[in-house]
């Protein structure tokens, strides 16, 4: 069953095919600041509407998107190379409960 989500102001709407079975809690220099809980999906299964703004981290091949109005981090997506997946900030999904899913700690503190 598909799950919807949105940023705080509602400008960005997200739809994914199912609730995440697990989410990532990453400690890299970006995630420790943004506190995302990231869920991964194949890009073709995700629908995102609304205009986001992307932050490009150095020479990395992904854009990290947020809503320019309310500032909520929404998703990351490749800038060209096909990863076969993209990341959604599960905190934006309706009824997301961190206590009800597996949270996988990702140790990327060196990044």
Q: Which residues contact Zn ion by CB under 5 A?
A: 7, 9, 11, 67, 69-70
Shortest distance (Å) from residue 24 CB to Zn ion = 22
Q: Residue 8 or residue 60: which is nearer to Zn ion going by CB?
A: 8
Half-sphere exposure of 73 (CA within 13 A, CB side): 21
Shortest distance (Å) from residue 72 CB to Zn ion = 6
CA distance 52 to 64: 9
Q: Residue 28 or residue 54: which is nearer to Zn ion going by CB?
A: 54
Q: Residue 9 or residue 109: which is nearer to Zn ion going by CB?
A: 9
Do the Cβ atoms of 20 and 80 come closer than 8 Å?
no
Do the Cβ atoms of 94 and 13 come closer than 8 Å?
no
Do the Cβ atoms of 76 and 63 come closer than 8 Å?
yes
Shortest distance (Å) from residue 36 CB to Zn ion = 15
């Amino acid at each position: 069953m598909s799950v919807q989500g949105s940023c705080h102001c509602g400008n960005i709407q997200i739809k994914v095919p199912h609730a995440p079975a697990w989410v990532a809690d990453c400690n890299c220099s970006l995630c420790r600041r943004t506190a995302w809980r990231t869920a991964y999906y194949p890009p073709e299964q995700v629908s995102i509407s609304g205009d986001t703004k992307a932050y490009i981290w150095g020479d990395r091949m992904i854009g990290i998107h947020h809503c320019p109005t309310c500032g909520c981090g929404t998703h990351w997506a490749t800038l060209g190379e096909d990863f076969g997946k993209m990341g959604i900030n599960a905190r934006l999904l309706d009824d997301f409960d961190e206590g009800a899913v597996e949270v996988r700690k990702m140790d990327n503190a060196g990044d």
